[in-house]
Structure 1
């Protein structure tokens, strides 16, 4: 898709759009407009119904359907996304332990080369048929053959030893295999085809009743679900933007609405702001190669490189010169904390990556020593006739990232670096994001993103390693972390990849191809009395993070 070079909507225009969308929501809810609420007479509950404690919920947290229920299209590539309608072999509990989901038990051999799973005997598809070991084998073999959404190249073979037992035999140990085991949705081998997205059969707590792309998703409980029966029979997801979701909350037409930090001071009768700690971080992805290179993103040929950001001094100056605490106060309104890596505070975090930032004079010194000087007195340094100026892209519909881009640009100017911010669609960012800086994000319950974001082996695969970063020392640490036979051994290598005393991608003296700045809290306006379960620390993506505890949601007495 072409780059969207229009600026984000003005405040007045956003307000008008929000009002218009809420009118559509409320009117559609009242009269059951078919074009809005879908097939079979399905409609969203009315305002009066919203104010009662019924068994239906209306939720506006963004578009939850990326991947359209099919892992070959990306379903399962976001944390907790599949929990709506699918199951995986493992899942994450409230203490961020990996525990059985479809698997009633599992074991790993001492050499970490064989992973064995026994399926629960009461697992059924939403059509009533049993989930079998052959379904697991089919799912993983299909994704391994596809090779675009999930990296399973380390798997040698998968055997169904009987109807309920599966063994994965690996070519080499893979410490982050739990990431796939907890995120890949198991597919029904007998019913999967090219049209699977139109009528997905899953083994999760809900089934799809109606899906209208870009508008809404309606789910109803799966009568064959093996787990705790949900208290809510019907879930209606409205794919509203942030402004429109807030307006819908004001109108009383939703039970849960995501709000960015700048809207957190809103007071809405009948709703309470709930805040959840996360590992969800935001920062700047900076191209590390000079302009004129070529590469790929999601299989498409793209331009790679930027002559300004390719200079290591630019990375280092921004890394120590930007004031994370101040950015957190302005952008997050106190709903979050500064971040120095993608994994701050997790077992694989290297505390040596933390340093004093906001050091403007030290940042200027780094630039000057690298030959960057303000020769024309305009406040922006130059080197070899080139100004220290580049573009920072952000998704136009994401207020938090747009605010982050503006604050970073303001602070960078004080260092002598000129940043032009530009809103775009994600399609546009994927096309131009390897030649420009991007407000990047991430954060998982496992360490695999450290490999996918920083290993040179992931360059040109999916949207991994956006900066095209390559450091042989870092690669060595990442490879050893990935192939470690125990989590403790893996953690030591993850830490060394961040900084080993001489090299790394993080820390004051690290390469900083991605400059992490803030870790956000996820904020939701929630109908009074609605309990959202015992949430684990949430992963990246406010759209999906709540769903780990979906079957625990209930009205409090």
Structure 2
């Protein structure tokens, strides 16, 4: 048997096992309200072949081939990516990143930017039919803060209620705090306990009705949800970590939606399915060590600085001499767009920070600085030092490897700078990321990411945001002003000036400590007839951003 045939057989066997498990409803732990009665069996084709693209006969169920299955559904302690599906918050953001009502019908922020007041709507209920009260809201916020989770509530000094009026007091202004509030899912105080993570009571449009460890989870519409009923009442998420498995799942008609990759999408089409391409801020770029090589190691015991990349001429030449569209074509088969910042297309993005591919300018920068190829080997040198550095990426990540190779080949060809690509395991990258260029990926719907990436208080920390050790006093001032503004809208001019104020900034037009390359387009196979609604610009990661508006999906 040929290798390809063996692989196909293995994938088909995997699919058969997945759906056999789903059909059996062999649950590890089910919510008490519906133990073991649900099935994730695929819709019948009614005699039609998968190639005919037959949608389910009863268009009220959906099967999604997902890349992972959560083992925790507690929004206050670990379940964050899908929080809007199962839980309501006080407020939410719409597709334009505007703050809109959720459990709160209105809110205000005092002039001192320290006091937030919310009016809790009447009549909202949890999925068990009990009323959502101000006491539940207070409990949810205090519990989330006490858990010291990735929900950063450290600035919340107090939360209190007077009837249906809820007041949150901060100890320091933070214009992005309202976005944190959007991710605090409200849970029932009376039912919150040790088993809540696997037996949650939801406040959002869906409720969890079945969970099978590392295999699948099933949602059904929450009949007690205060808002409009979801367009699809039952959604089955089946784990399919392998892209070949996901492709064969759509080819055989087993799923209605699944993730795919640029390579698979470029080389396949599936009858009865369309390729959904979503705009993102899932950006990839190069963190360039900003300082010269330091004599002392940092507090973690690692080398810091790079005598080659600390030269702004080198960084600018790389930024202007890189044809980003060509990288998109070579690395992602065209499923990407050039990137210029960590927040392209967001309300706080500064379009003035964009640069154009200008090879002549990039070459002149190097020539004028004395970087020339004197020995004809294709690599420039200056004072006997070669224009050469490593370019690291996380080993095993095919996308980052492809981007790194495309950049390396083009930079050598265009500029005579050698960037030797090397894959390094995640566990070994911290020892080298402070002193060598590294491909990193970011993408967030919160402008606070910019603060973490560029404020001097975060330089050189072990959280991956600013390993290049970038610092700039003017940028710090803008970032501080942005955080300290009263509202998201009032902060926008400061976020934009931090990127480029006409003289300096974090962007490639400014200090260029981070060379942005591209925003990866998120790709999905979607069965014809399924409408996935109006999507927000996707953040980093392919899976969860797609389903954040799941309640809006419908079969046409």
Indicate if the aligned counterparts of 2:316 and 2:508 stay in contact, CA closer than 8 A: no
Q: Are 2:44 and 1:48 equivalent residues in the alignment?
A: yes
- Can you list the C-alpha shifts for 1:131-178, whole angstroms capped at 9, x where unaligned? 22233323333443454523333333222223x331112233322122
| SS at structure 1 position matched to 2:320 | helix
User: 1:228: Cα distance to partner?
Assistant: 2.1
Structure 2 match to 1:237: 238
Give structure 1 stretches of 5+ with no counterpart.
1-11, 296-300
Structure 2 match to 1:269: 271
Q: Are 2:543 and 1:543 equivalent residues in the alignment?
A: yes
Structure 1 match to 2:441: 441
Q: Are 2:484 and 1:483 equivalent residues in the alignment?
A: yes
Structure 2 match to 1:28: 18
Q: Superposition RMSD on alpha carbons, in Å?
A: 3.4
How many angstroms apart in 2 are the aligned matches of 1:522 and 1:125?
33
Indicate if the aligned counterparts of 2:85 and 2:551 stay in contact, CA closer than 8 A: no
Distance 1:92 1:185, change over 3 A: same
Structure 2 counterparts to residues 520-535 of structure 1, below 5 A? 520-535=520-535
User: 1:311: Cα distance to partner?
Assistant: 4.3
Moved more, 512-521 or 182-191: 182-191
Q: Which structure has the bigger radius of gyration?
A: 2
Q: Are 2:286 and 1:284 equivalent residues in the alignment?
A: yes
Give structure 2 stretches of 5+ with no counterpart.
30-35, 46-53
User: 1:204: Cα distance to partner?
Assistant: 1.9
Structure 2 counterparts to residues 349-428 of structure 1, below 5 A? 349-359=349-359, 361-367=360-366, 377-381=376-380, 388-394=388-394, 396-397=396-397, 399-414=398-413, 415-423=415-423
User: 1:341: Cα distance to partner?
Assistant: 1.3
Indicate if the aligned counterparts of 2:391 and 2:404 stay in contact, CA closer than 8 A: no
What TM-score results when the alignment is normalised by the length of structure 1?
0.84
Distance 1:382 1:246, change over 3 A: farther
- Can you list the C-alpha shifts for 1:244-278, whole angstroms capped at 9, x where unaligned? 32232222211101222333342112111122333
| SS at structure 2 position matched to 1:228 | coil
How many angstroms apart in 2 are the aligned matches of 1:454 and 1:150?
21
- Can you list the C-alpha shifts for 1:98-131, whole angstroms capped at 9, x where unaligned? 1012222222223332211122223333333332
How many angstroms apart in 1 are the aligned matches of 2:175 and 2:453?
16
Structure 2 match to 1:207: 207
Structure 2 match to 1:4: none
Structure 1 match to 2:49: none
Structure 1 match to 2:508: 507
Distance 1:261 1:177, change over 3 A: same
- Can you list the C-alpha shifts for 1:316-372, whole angstroms capped at 9, x where unaligned? 22211111121233334444422211223433222321222251x543444465565
| SS at structure 1 position matched to 2:298 | strand
How many angstroms apart in 1 are the aligned matches of 2:192 and 2:422?
41
Distance 1:28 1:447, change over 3 A: closer
User: 1:59: Cα distance to partner?
Assistant: 1.1
User: 1:469: Cα distance to partner?
Assistant: 2.2
Distance 1:466 1:184, change over 3 A: farther
Structure 1 match to 2:108: 107
Indicate if the aligned counterparts of 1:261 and 1:333 stay in contact, CA closer than 8 A: yes
What TM-score results when the alignment is normalised by the length of structure 2?
0.84
